[in-house]
Amino acid sequence: MVSKRLSREEGHRRKFLVIIDDTPECERAVHYAANRARTTNGVLLMMFVIEPGDFQHWLGVEEIMKAESQEQAEATIAKFAADVRERVGIEPETAIRMGKTVEEIYALIEEDQDIAILVLAAGSAKDGPGPLVSSIAGRSAAFPIPVTVIPASLSDEDIDALC
């Protein structure tokens, strides 16, 4: 069970959580979430999760790989944040976590009671909507907050018209 959401209480603002990764659909999710945050006077929270599975080496090599992954995550999230500032005019919050993506999403939602909506975008590949959308959809009955999935067919102009 997730803690009570505070986003509608005095002194709080609704946060739109979007997951930053290297998938093509990530940009559409950020575009939608940033626009919704701006038009509703909310907050955009961008989260990058570093999966731990790649760090099975000697201690020195493992630490170097973790540091490199951290630097890559920071650079990626900074690029998206700069785009949001320039295009939408809002300052996003950011979070970088290490762990399994779905578990870290749950943990962040539990920690930050202002997170009210998770925004994902479906992929356009013929093998399905993408691994993150599929993993969240499989748990939808027990997911703690609403999930908005942006269809692959929506253009930036379509998204702008919706927000």
Would you say how long the chain is, in residues?
163
Mean pLDDT of the chain: 86
Q: Is the pLDDT of residue 134 over 90?
A: no
What CATH number should be reported for the domain holding residue 95?
3.40.50.620
Instruction: Flag whether 135 is in a domain.
Output: yes
Instruction: Flag whether 145 is in a domain.
Output: yes
Domain that holds residue 142: 15-162
CB 87 within 8 A of CB 38: no
Instruction: Flag whether 9 is in a domain.
Output: no
Q: What is the pLDDT of residue 1?
A: 53
The tally of domains found in the chain comes to: 1
**Side chain identity at residue 117, one-letter code:** I
82, 151, 37, 138 alpha-carbon torsion, rounded to 10°? -100
Instruction: Flag whether 136 is in a domain.
Output: yes
In this prediction the pTM is 0.87
Q: What is the pLDDT of residue 132?
A: 73
Instruction: Flag whether 7 is in a domain.
Output: no
Q: Bigger pLDDT: 31 or 138?
A: 31
Q: What is the pLDDT of residue 94?
A: 98
DSSP state of 40: T
Q: Bigger pLDDT: 136 or 83?
A: 83
Q: For residue range 82-126, what is the model confidence (pLDDT) as tens digits?
A: 999 999 999 999 999 999 998 999 999 999 999 999 999 988 766
Q: Is the pLDDT of residue 22 over 70?
A: yes
What are the tokens at 79?
Answer: 């690029």
Q: What is the pLDDT of residue 46?
A: 98
C-alpha distances out from residue 80 to 17, 46, 124, 149, Å = 13, 9, 21, 19
Q: How far apart are the first and last CA of the chain?
A: 30
Give the whole-angstrom CA distance, residue 123 versus residue 109: 23
Percent of the chain clearing pLDDT 90 (strictly above): 53
Q: Is the pLDDT of residue 76 over 90?
A: yes
Reduced to 3 states (helix: H, G, I; strand: E, B; else coil), residue 106 is: helix
Instruction: Flag whether 144 is in a domain.
Output: yes
Instruction: Flag whether 26 is in a domain.
Output: yes
Least confident range from 17-26, 66-75, 121-130: namely: 121-130
Reduced to 3 states (helix: H, G, I; strand: E, B; else coil), residue 136 is: helix
Q: Is the pLDDT of residue 140 over 90?
A: no
What are the tokens at 48?
Answer: 């990058």
Q: What is the pLDDT of residue 26?
A: 92
Instruction: Flag whether 133 is in a domain.
Output: yes
